[in-house]
A and B are shown apart, each in its own frame.
Chain A
Amino acid sequence: DAGITQSPRHKVTETGTPVTLRCHQTENHRYMYWYRQDPGHGLRLIHYSYGVKDTDKGEVSDGYSVSRSKTEDFLLTLESATSSQTSVYFCAIRGSADNQPQHFGDGTRLSIL
């Protein structure tokens, strides 16, 4: 398995609270991605990173921010969580060649009450 660890694996929190999810990789890959998975939508890209301190928005970035201060860590923050952000969040990594596939972590199940 690709060396990707997501933490926490499960979290329940209340509307309006800040939440940070962590993705840690041991592969030294350049590219990292955050997705959310919802029934009927497949996976949708939230944000991605192409290097330390280099990030960009994906398809569904509103309400989310990211940071990457080290190659191995990519953080996803919900500044003020809303119930619509209840979802399963996946981190993925990819090597430098664009024909390489993305490899996924095991996900974080986030419930916002």
Chain B
Amino acid sequence: AQSVTQLGSHVSVSEGALVLLRCNYSSSVPPYLFWYVQYPNQGLQLLLKYTSAATLVKGINGFEAEFKKSETSFHLTKPSAHMSDAAEYFCAVSDRTGTASKLTFGTGTRLQVTL
């Protein structure tokens, strides 16, 4: 069974500062990994995905993530935070088994961006 750990349920950064949201996973097979963002009262929007191609993945809104197999990590970064980045972020791993490749989500990290 796979699992996802997101370290830090709340992260606060200043506008213009580096954003780093941590995600560690466990999986019995080479994983597919995803980051989603959720704005208030909305569904989840895909930020980026890792599906065993390049280990450094670029997504929307200037975000990127690096797959590190040795560390079982898939941390999300953005060089310079913007006020509009304030949202909740979820990391997810796909089990890649069975008929539906089910996702397991982390518990989320709420990002606050301050002036």
Contacts and interface: CB of A to CB of B under 8 A. Distances in A.
Nearest to B1: A59
A68 B107 CA distance: 29
Interface residues of B, number: 25
A58 B44 contact: no
A54 B100 CA distance: 11
Interface residues of A, number: 26
Interface stretch (A12-20, A79-87, A98-106): A98-106
Contacts of A40: 9, 107
Contact of A42 (B34, B51, B90): B90
A31 to B, nearest CB: 5
B43 A107 contact: yes
What does DSSP make chain B's interface, helix, strand, loop or mixed? loop
A6 B48 CA distance: 24
A48 interface: yes
A112 B81 CA distance: 38
B94 A90 contact: no
B102 interface: yes
Interface string A24-54: 0000000101000000111111001010001
A99 B32 contact: yes
Given A56-B99, A98-B94, A42 B107 contact: yes
Contacts of B32: 98-99
Contact of B96 (A41, A90, A98, A103): A98
Interface of B: 9, 32, 34, 36, 41-46, 49, 51-52, 90, 94, 96, 99-103, 105-108
